[in-house]
Amino acid sequence: MATPSGIDVDPARTPARDLRDLVLDTLGREICAGIIAVGMTFTTESIESRFHVSRPVVREALRALEALGLIEAKRRVGVRVMPATRWNAYDLQVIRWRLAGPSRVAQLRSLTELRGAIEPAAARLAAIRVPLNEAGELVGLAGRLWAAGKQGDAAEFLRLDLQFHQMILRLSGNEMFEQLHHLVEEVLRGRAQYNLMPKYPATEALQWHVDIATAIQTGNAEKASQSMVAITERALTEMSTIWDRDGDAPISEER
């Protein structure tokens, strides 16, 4: 049996957990890509036959897909693929499946717009709630981010940028914001993937990061929020070149 990347797997020698993950990942990608279309039905027997795996392995994979909202299993009907409106859009696995398929542009746009709604509010709360010692750490991080940008070290800049934005979500003191850090991470990684991050980031953008850290340290909630708005709006403008060029790729759902 071959994986989506073309690597052959021997079910007889592969642990059940790995087989379950393989079936789950393959079906998840195919559903999110529309290869297995909305409304299509199939049986556990057909999945067993296709992947040459046991029924318990198939059942575990299908339970995971059902928990994510991608499918619905009913007796005497089989397994039916559900529209994207039923999917758990915040689940990291679903996000990555969509980013790997033809709906990647639509997914990236949704994430970018969501980021613009979340991060300014998180920065504002961080300025109000942050402990002094962690505020100093954020300022230091912004300084290292500036240095990496000026040196043209793209890999280090991305690493520090991810850490910077994750830290702000955490410093907001809102556990729900903090748990959305993976959404912001996918946006930042997506920008790098689409070559929208120049080797040398604009000085203006680097300054905004420093301004946010300083505003949070000094308790200036309005400045922290405004500087974050500047960053997210710039990101939205830059990302718009993708959907202007490629258009909104179709999402596998029925409206």
Encode pLDDT of 184-224 as tens digits: 999 899 888 877 788 899 999 999 999 999 999 999 999 99
Q: What is the rounded CA–CA span in Å between residue 208 and residue 149? A: 13
Instruction: With residue 80 as reference, give the H or E element that holds it.
Output: strand 78-81
81 forms beta bridges with: 71
pLDDT above 60 for 34: yes
Confidence of residue 13 (pLDDT cuts 50, 70, 90): low
pLDDT > 60? residue 1? no
Rounded Cα gap, residues 232 and 95, in angstroms? 20
- The residue assigned the tokens 């994986």 is 3
Given CATH 1.10.8.60, say whether it is the number of domain 103-246.
no
Residue 48 CB neighbours (<10 A): 16
Domain boundaries in the chain? 11-86, 103-246
Residues 13 and 26: their CA atoms lie apart, in Å, by: 19
Q: Is the dihedral of CA 211, 128, 170, 107 positive or negative?
A: negative
Note the pTM of the prediction, 2 decimals.
0.82
CATH 1.10.10.10 fits 11-86, yes or no: yes
Q: Over the stretch 137-188, which tens digit does the pLDDT of each residue have?
A: 999 999 999 999 999 999 999 999 999 999 999 999 999 999 999 999 998 9
Residue holding tokens 């089989």?
78
